[in-house]
C-alpha cells in the first residue's frame, strides 16, 4: 500500500469513528417509533407506551448565575445571584423480550438524557 492509499484509509477510518461518536443514543420501540436524547417524557410515552418499570433514582440540583440590578438604582450596581432548582432523575425500563435487550431510559427534569442496555430481555416483549 503506497502513502496516498494509506492516508486515504486513515482519513476514512477517522471519519467513520467521528460519526459513530457524535451519533446520539436512540431507542426504537417495537411499533417502529424512535426516541432519542433530548425528547420529552410525553413523546416517549406516545411512541413506546408504558415502561415495564419506572424508578425515581435521584434528585439533582441545577443552578445558573444571573446578574440583577440592586435596589439602589442611583448607584447602578449589579449583583450576581445563583438560581437553583431541583430536578428528579427517573429511569424507565423496557423489556423487549428474549430476542432483544432490556433498555433503560434515564430522564432528568422530564427530558431523555441517556439510553442504555441492561442485559438480555426475558419472556415476551413488553415494549410496543
- Structure-block grid coordinates of residue 68: 440583577
What is the predicted pLDDT for the residue at 23? 43
Enumerate residues 6+ apart whose C-beta is below 8 A from 86.
59, 60, 61, 62
7 is a domain residue: no
31 is a domain residue: no
Per-residue pLDDT for the chain (128 aa), expressed as one digit of tens each? 566 665 556 555 555 544 433 345 899 887 788 999 999 999 999 999 999 999 999 998 887 777 776 666 666 677 777 788 899 999 999 998 888 899 999 999 999 999 999 999 898 877 76
What is the predicted pLDDT for the residue at 11? 57
What is the predicted pLDDT for the residue at 21? 39
Domain range for residue 53?
Answer: 36-128
What is the predicted pLDDT for the residue at 60? 87
What is the predicted pLDDT for the residue at 56? 96
Distance CA 67, CA 78 (A): 6
Residue 102 · residue 26 · CB < 8 Å: no
What is the predicted pLDDT for the residue at 32? 84
Domain count, the chain: 1
12 is a domain residue: no
28 is a domain residue: no
25 is a domain residue: no
Q: Residue 36: which of 24, 49, 46, 47 has the closest Cα?
A: 24
Residue 100 · residue 110 · CB < 8 Å: no
What pTM was estimated for this model as a whole?
A: 0.66
Amino acid at each position: 500500500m503506497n502513502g496516498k492509499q494509506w492516508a486515504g484509509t486513515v482519513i476514512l477510518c477517522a471519519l467513520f469513528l467521528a460519526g459513530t461518536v457524535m451519533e446520539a443514543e436512540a431507542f426504537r420501540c417495537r411499533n417502529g417509533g424512535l426516541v432519542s436524547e433530548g425528547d420529552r417524557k410525553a413523546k416517549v410515552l406516545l411512541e413506546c407506551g408504558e415502561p415495564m418499570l419506572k424508578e425515581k433514582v435521584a434528585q439533582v440540583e441545577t443552578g445558573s448565575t444571573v446578574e440583577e440590578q440592586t435596589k439602589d438604582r442611583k448607584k447602578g450596581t449589579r449583583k450576581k445571584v445563583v438560581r437553583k432548582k431541583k430536578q428528579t432523575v427517573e429511569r424507565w425500563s423496557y423489556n423487549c423480550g428474549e430476542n432483544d435487550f432490556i433498555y433503560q431510559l434515564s430522564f432528568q427534569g422530564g427530558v431523555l438524557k441517556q439510553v442504555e442496555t441492561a442485559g438480555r430481555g426475558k419472556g415476551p416483549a413488553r415494549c410496543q
